[in-house]
Each structure stands twice: as C-alpha cells, then as structure tokens.
A and B are shown apart, each in its own frame.
Chain A
Amino acid sequence: MSKSVIEMPPKGGFSFDLCKRNEMLAKKGVSPPSFRKTGTTIVGLIFQDGVILGADTRATEGPIVCDKNCEKIHYMAPNIYCCGAGTAADTEAVTDMVSSQLQLHRYHTGRESRVVTALTLLKRHLFNYQGHVSAALVLGGVDVTGPHLHTIYPHGSTDTLPFATMGSGSLAAMAVFESKYKEGLTRDEGIKLVTEAICSGIFNDLGSGSNVDICVITKGGKEYLRNHLQPNPRTYTSSKGYSFPKKTEVLLTKITPLKEKVEIIEGGDAMEE
C-alpha cells in the first residue's frame, strides 16, 4: 500500500480543518461549549460637567450566570473609560490593547489622551476583523476639547451621541433615556438617570442583572462608583451563619521544610549584561 499523499510542510495561518468537524458534530446534535457573553446593559450620557457611564454586573454563559458581579467599565486612560458588551474576552482584550497603545502614545506625545484617539484605534481594529471580534462598546471621556461620548459597533462603525445605550438591555435603557434625558443635567440628576436606565435593563432584560456600576468623568478627574446600587441582594441568608459540624477527616500529616531540600543563596551578584 503506497502512500499517495505527499507530506506537505505546515503552512502558516489559521487552519480551518476543525471547522468542518464542528459542522459535522453540530449536525449530529453535539453543540459546542457556549462562550461567556456579557448579556448586558451599558449606558452613557453627557451632563453639564462631563460624562457618566453606567453598566450592570451580570456575565452569562448561555443560560447560566457565571459571574454575578463582574466589572464592565474598563479603564482606557486616566480621563477615558469604556463600557463593553458582547463576548467578555473580546471586550477585555480589545480595551486592554487600546489602553496600552494609548499609554505609549501619551509617552510619545507628552500630552493627555483624547477620546477620538481611543475611538479611532478601536474602530480600526474592529473593522479589520470584520465583526468577528464581538465587542460593542460605549466610550466616554473628557479631554482638552471637552466631554465626548461614542458608541462603537462590532463591525467598526461609530456614532457620536449625547446619550447612548448598548447590549441586550439597550432597548429598556434607551426607553428611560428618551423620556427623561435633557441637556445640562447636574451630577446628581445624571447619576440618578443612569441608575434608572441600568435598573430598567436589570429588571426587564434576562441577560442583565445584579448591581449597578457608575463612572463619572469630569475635567477635574474621575470617580468610579463600583456597585453604586445593589438592588438584588441575596435573600434568605441564614442569620446564624453557616457551620459544618462534620469536618473533613484528616488521615495523615507530613510537613517537609523546604530549606533542607533547596540551597538558599543570600545576596548574589548584581545582574550584568
């Protein structure tokens, strides 16, 4: 039996062989593991002194809540924050990457980062991946040119708006904004409106839940109010606390001090090229 196939050297790039296998398995009824998505309600609005961003804190893996208190408001720059909806890994990775690029840019230029810089870096990256990086973002910040609020969609399009919502709960939150938003809100009015919008998402959307995170960015600085509101506390906690009378049985105790096994050198030479 002669081998009719010549061994080819492995080519670079993505190998699509497993995609056929996945298709075949899907036909047989074996579904792939679902990835962690942030169901999400994320919002942003511009008030008289700057920008307020808000987000819920539920992360879902299919029908299961995998994280009841995750952080969806990501740091981009000291004056710029970004809320992320979509696949959790994609939003984390893309905001981390652009945050690093912004820091390098700040070192290079010696100036504070501008929101449009973050916007352009994010939109170019997302467009290059043609929507496969599933990250829908609400980017807000205050820079020398004033307060800015943008939404960025997975395919790379952006919108500039005075108030914006994204995620599965965006319709519920947008309903609140459309009826109650007005220009020139004060800080407290703005926080109250953002909290209302996120709560509307939390209670009316299955993909959003748990607590409300808020981030207020002004020219003076930023205020990250983690868990500003917790409208879903754990009910029926035991007042006596939990105790487990039957402890795990200890069968054997063996302690090996490592100093006998490992040679410790105190004060070595300084590192040299």
Chain B
Amino acid sequence: MDLNMDLNAPHSMGTTIIGVTYNGGVVLGADSRTSTGMYVANRASDKITQLTDNVYVCRSGSAADSQLVSDYVRYFLHQHTIQLGQPATVKVAANLIRLLSYNNKNMLETGLIVGGWDKYEGGKIYGIPLGGTLIEQPFSIGGSGSSYLYGFFDQAWKEGMTKDEAEQLVVKAVSLAIARDGASGGVVRTVVINSEGVTRNFYPGDKLQLWHEELEPQNSLLDILNSPSPEPMNI
C-alpha cells in the first residue's frame, strides 16, 4: 500500500526555525508541523527544546536525530554544570551540539539553532547546519521554510531592537514562511531568553496576520451537524 509506505517514512520536521538576538537577550521561534511523507503526524509539536535553564535549541530535519542529539547534549550540559559549579555558557552548549553533529555527520540529518543568555556574553545565537559547522550570528534561520526568509531578513533585520520588536519580527517571519512552505504550519511558538529568565509564547494559526491572497478561515460545515439543533442548510 502506497499510503503505508508514506506513514513509515522517517519522521522529518519540514520546519521553519529562527533565532534572533536583541538588545538584552535572544528570541527563538519555530512553527509546529511534523510530517511523515505527505501526512502531518503532529500539528502542534514543540521544536524549541530546553538544554539548560538559560539555553534552548531549535530543532529541524529528522525528528529522531534532533531529539536524540538534544537529549545527549542536555545530559552532557547537566554534568558540565555540576562540575563547573555555575550555569553553562551558550558557547559551550553550541560546541557540544557541534561536536556531535560534526563527528557523526554521515549518520545524522539535523540542523539546529542554539540560543541563550549567559552573564559573560549576554544573548547569543549559534547556527549549526547539516555538516556540523558552528557559526555565531546576530540572527539565524533554518529549516525548509527558511528559503523564503533570506530576502525578508536582509531587509527587516536591524541592530539593537527591543524585546517586543524582535518577537514581532520572529512571529511575522515564521508566519510568512508558513504561508509559502508546505512543510511548515500549525502554530508559532516563541521563547524569549534574557537576564530575567525565560518566557514561552504561543500564537495560534488563526490569530496570525493574513498575507497576499490568503483567505479568511472558514468555519467547518461540520459545526452545523454537531450543534444542538441543526437547521436546514441555507445558501
């Protein structure tokens, strides 16, 4: 059965992931669609996972590979924090991810964006794409939906934004990518990390701004059937 083959295909996250620094911290953003072939296996997944209290990672690519890599790095960072006696820096977290990604480059298929805040360097974003390079950037985009955002960020990114400006930029960008990329969709999740701590936000799909040629969401006709007194259909 062709459908059967598709459902057993490796679980990959089509994805749009973004990490942006601002004046005082970082904002990480992602969509929430996990697909197996053409079927959406999870329409509300959380692709921003915690590594330590102050460092989070956005995952893209193979769901299994990215989950296992972040699990291992969380474990190593926990040991490192105990041995060091103070919170781990973002650079150490990014390097641990890079070592796993680079040394197993033939077997892994995952692109990650590490973002966080520490007291030495402040807010930092590190991009670790497929081959295992480590690159520190003021902002980083990844996943299949990122193709549609390169031009947008070239124009819209500015140095020294405020927290709200940065978050609005991330939400706008993910929502634009969702509009154009079939493998991204669902809701927009953001995580803001600064000296005060971590804030998680959630923007459901129907609350996002509509872009060019996007239609208003329609109520499902099933609501008529499920309502207490179904009226006869009227045009």
Report which A residues bind B (CB closer than 8 A).
86, 123-124, 126-127, 131, 134, 136, 151, 153-159, 161, 167-168, 170-171, 179-180, 206-207
Contacts and interface: CB of A to CB of B under 8 A. Distances in A.
Contacts of A124: 68
B4 A159 contact: no
Nearest to B4: A168
Contacts of A171: 3, 39
A134 B5 CA distance: 12
A206 B3 CA distance: 11
Interface residues of B, number: 22
Contacts of B1: 168, 206-207
16 contacts: A86-B8, A123-B67, A127-B68, A136-B7, A136-B8, A153-B10, A155-B10, A155-B63, A157-B11, A159-B34, A161-B44, A167-B7, A170-B7, A170-B39, A180-B226, A207-B4
Would you call the interface of chain B mostly helix, strand, loop, or mixed?
mixed
Contacts of A126: 64
Contacts of B67: 123, 156-158
B222 interface: yes
B68 A156 contact: yes
A169 B151 CA distance: 42
B62 interface: yes
Nearest to B225: A179
B168 interface: no
CB-based closest 4 A-B pairs: A157-B63, A157-B64, A156-B64, A155-B64
Contact of A153 (B36, B44, B45, B220): B36
Nearest to A128: B68
A127 B68 CA distance: 8
B4 A161 contact: no
A127 B11 CA distance: 12
A161 B42 contact: yes
B68 A134 contact: no
Contacts of A179: 220, 222, 226
Contacts of A151: 41-42
B8 A134 contact: yes
B68 A168 contact: no
Contacts of B39: 170-171
Which interface residue of A159, A167, A171 has the most chain B CB atoms within 10 A? Answer: A159
A126 B63 CA distance: 13
Interface in B49-80: 62-64, 67-68
Interface string B27-52: 00000001010010110110000000
Among A123, A134, A155, A171, the most chain B Cβ lie within 10 Å of the Cβ of A155
